[in-house]
Structure 1
Amino acid sequence: MKMVSWNVNGIRACVGKGFLDYFHSVDADIFCLQETKLQEGQINLDLEGYHQYWNYAEKKGYSGTAIFTKEKPISCSYGVGTNDSESEGRIITLEFKDFYLVNVYTPNSQRDLARLSVRLEWEVNLRNYLIDLNNEKPVILCGDLNVAHQEIDLKNPKPNTGNSGFTDEERGEMTKLLSAGFIDSFRHLYPDQIDSFTWWSYMNKVRERNIGWRIDYFIMSERLASLLKDSQIHSEILGSDHCPVCIEVEL
């Protein structure tokens, strides 16, 4: 089974930059989006053979997630646990026979860390939710998690220490999640691979020089590790300031 996750930074704009060409060529069984930035009825994607699930933010042109899946899930839910009214459209959970798929767009703590407390509360709630799901059946979490976990996960770790996405608090929350029975699929297979990034600033020639961060992930239950066949970063795919990430797993 092939799964893809991509922060498209506006699906309507990304469609105009080749999204559908990539979508059809990669032929994923499950394709997850973050930061769709639209409301219901603002786009009509004709994706033959796929069931579509969208979670829209209440605020126009902001946040939002979506999942396209060939196999119809047993159930679909939005939000975390009993809180099914999450207003920023940041999470979708699909239940399948053998696993849960959770697609998230984690809040950014902002340049001045003004939203760090919100972010940390999100992390605790999400981790507890994932642990509860993991007690029922294996979990695959994907999305823009807005954190570079280790120094190897960004080009310039020293000057970025303490900045949004690379604070001790945010990195510590990722460590807690992985310690709760989960693995980072990419680092599980490629623990020492350098210069493997998924996001680049729009500043001049930053992407061409590969001055990036790895903040997009597939996190999965440890008991799925033996079924993981590959974890890829499709950095050659343009259309957003993020690139797609992909896993192949025998499910």
Structure 2
Amino acid sequence: MSELSRRRVLKSGLAATAAVGASVLLAPVAHASEFPEVPGMRGDRRANELWYAYEMEFSYAPSAEVVAAYGELDAAAQGSPLSLLDLYIQTREQGTYPESYLDRIRRARHAFEVFSVVQLDLFDRYYPRDERALAWSFVHMGNGVLYDPRMPHPNEIHMMTMDNTSADGKTTTSWHFWHAVNRGLTLLGIDRARWNRLDRLVGLGWEVQSTTKPAVGQVNPPIACHTAERLIRRWECRTPGEMDRAFQSFPYPAP
């Protein structure tokens, strides 16, 4: 789920598609009991399946539509995919947000619509009408406890990392990038209510990773249930403005 992977998508297009079981992404499955056994897999079965499908769709085996959407986003931000985050940060610091941010991203509306449709399809496929369980999937991913041997080595652990991160994966900006995309969706009026809710889960995953500081390349100790529940409650009612202020902090959430 790294920005390096996202940039690789732009460079390599669909080169990886044939190498991955695309049928996995299309299967109408939702419950762990319906998934085939994967020898060696560790962690919550349904969460593993969600994040595997997510990684394939957005990093390793993107559809032509997703590749094109990345290109549109790149063009609107006038730089690499990371510059969308730079644009978001810049407009916040200059006091011109949200107007100037919205003005720049309007040209990429179709790309944002693609991101919304594809992501919501994945969330609804694996966690239909179960946002509480979906919240826990973000906890598991932020915690670095999901080991999936189907993933390309050395990325068998589903977690947020980045090519210029520290060795333990603690200082990734990927959560901030995701928030910048989500705010683009809500400002453009694309599934606004849904993305305001889902953005809180992005904040949740960010704080879980910031709290547990999982190591890259290994299954990490699970976060205590009472700690995870406290973090879920902390994020579940935040307004869009509170989310923006929270993501002004880097690399970790403010106390």
Range of TM-score over shorter length: under 0.3
* Larger fraction in strand: 1
TM-score by length of 2: 0.28
* Larger fraction in helix: 2
